[in-house]
Structure 1
Amino acid sequence: MRPPLVMLHGWASSPAVWHAATAAMGDHPRIMPALPGHAGGAEGMAPRLAAWATAILAACPPRFDLCGWSLGGLLSIGIALLAPDRVRRIVLIGTSPCFSARPGWTAGLDGALVARFRADFATDPGRMLARFHALQTLGDGHRRAVAAELERSATAPHAAGGLAAGLQLLDDTDLRARLSALTHTVRVLHGADDALMPAATAVALSDALPQARLTLIGECGHAPHLSRPRDCAALIDGFLHEPDR
């Protein structure tokens, strides 16, 4: 029997970012929690993947499927590594195992740009978030519509502390060396024209996972579930309904 689907949104977003895609999905139990700090109340939580994954696991059923976008995808990997027996299948959308570029890893975001994001967020969160939203829509064939959805589903303004912690988590986390231990069946969905995390990131992620299948979605930027929600919904539903191997 197919378990419930836990859907994790991205940084500076909210569960509302899934509404367009879930409206086109089949009638099946779904759980869409806010990430730690994204609805406020993250004071004292370390900006570490294990801490955030543990907090999310506490709100999940005993067994579930996972679908994560961007930071939510990174957390999905962390959750599956932390509690592998509780996770059946995983969908990763616009996900990188290592957000920031490092020696030997050019598929990440330039370190200087990430540092500027963090500095700008500390001084002018609203301006930085506007720039980040714009970067997510670059290369998308439905750029204006995606921008409107990103704005509509943005994190509440009072959550600045949680967002700062999430940005640090993104900058600090590197899961590349642990991907070979993730033996779950994984579907990787990625915008072919993503300017934030280029398609090469998804290729590297898929190649490193033992049981992953990659679909690049044309004319989409960093949020294909907003640009082409029906297509993404069909891909997610189809994958989760496939018989177990």
Structure 2
Amino acid sequence: GWSLGGQVALEWARLRPERVGALVLMSTTPSFVQRPDWPHAMAEATLRQFGDELHVAYRQTLQRFVTLQLQGSEHARDTLGSLRSHLFARGEPSPHALRDSLELLASTDLRSGISAISQPALVIAGDRDTLTPVAAGRYLASALPHASLVVIHGAAHTPFLSHPQAVIAALDAFANDK
């Protein structure tokens, strides 16, 4: 799972372990917002500001969010067009769905259940990811009992777009180790 999709995968693996053979978690964090004991995330006020701005300037806020996905990537300009085409392939997301997703990101903290997840896991993190910092990936790799970490240098939040060969190599190695 990528980003929020990784959080969904973690929760599914915890709740229905018999249905999940292995996990690949890319740009995933157990908690997307900072908490008193979790500094490896975005300030909650920043996330809430996105939700507030969706009401006022939907398209501009959406474009800003897309740009944040690439912030810090060494291939940001090259990847921006690809990201936009993937994200908007089926039209623009509904404002209601985006607000619900932001609320889910703000309220989710999966740290307490992670050690119970016993499936093999590959954690992929970009060392330039400002949305889900590499420290969050390191945490996941150490908290999950059977996890390995691959840090992709020069990648931000979308390593599958900016560094596809490195992601493919990590996936191949993980699949061959199982």
- Is the pair's TM-score, using the shorter chain for normalization, greater than 0.5? yes
Partner residue of 2:50 out of 112, 117, 125: 117
AA of the residue aligned to 1:218 = H
1:190-223: per-residue Cα shift (whole Å, max 9, x none)? 1011122211111112121111111110011111
- Unpaired stretches in structure 2, ≥5 consecutive residues: none
Counterparts of 1:111 and 1:161, CA distance in 2:
19
How big is each residue's C-alpha offset from its partner over 1:218-240, in whole Å with a ceiling of 9 and x where there is no partner? 01111111111122012113212
Q: 2: distance between equivalents of 1:158 and 1:196? A: 20
- 1:219 alignment partner in structure 2: 154
Q: Which one is further off, 169-178 or 233-242?
A: 233-242
Bigger relative contact order, structure 1 or 2 (CA pairs below 8 A, ≥6 apart): 2
Whole-Å separation in 2 of the counterparts to 1:240 and 1:124: 43
Q: What is the alpha-carbon distance in structure 1 between the residues aligned to residue 82 and residue 95 of structure 2?
A: 20
Q: What letter corresponds to residue 197 of structure 1 in structure 2?
A: T
Deviates more, 1:166-175 or 1:122-131: 122-131
Gaps of 5+ in 1: 1-67
For residues 9-47 of structure 1, the C-alpha deviation after alignment (integer angstroms, 9 at most, x for no partner) is xxxxxxxxxxxxxxxxxxxxxxxxxxxxxxxxxxxxxxx
Match of residue 200 from structure 1: 135
User: Structure 1 residues 133-142 or 213-222, which shifts more?
Assistant: 133-142
Contact 1:136 1:222 in 2 (8 A): yes
Equivalent residue letter for 1:121: L
- The one of 177, 183, 200 aligned to 2:118: 183
Q: Larger % of helix: which?
A: 2
Q: Between Structure 1 and Structure 2, how many residues are aligned? A: 176
Tell me the TM-score normalized by structure 2: 0.93
Percent identity over the alignment is: 35
Secondary structure of the residue aligned to 2:101 is helix
Instruction: Report deviation, 1:158.
Output: 5.2
Partner of 1:166: 101
Aligned-CA RMSD value:
1.3
Tell me how far apart the structure 1 counterparts of residues 119 and 102 of structure 2 sit (CA, whole Å).
27
Work out whether 1:82 is the aligned partner of 2:27.
no
**Where is the strand percentage greater, Structure 1 or Structure 2?**
1
The DSSP-based 3-state class of the residue aligned with 2:94 is helix
Q: Deviations over 1:103-125 (max 9, x none)?
A: 11101111110110111123222
Q: What is the alpha-carbon distance in structure 2 between the residues aligned to residue 173 and residue 74 of structure 1?
A: 8
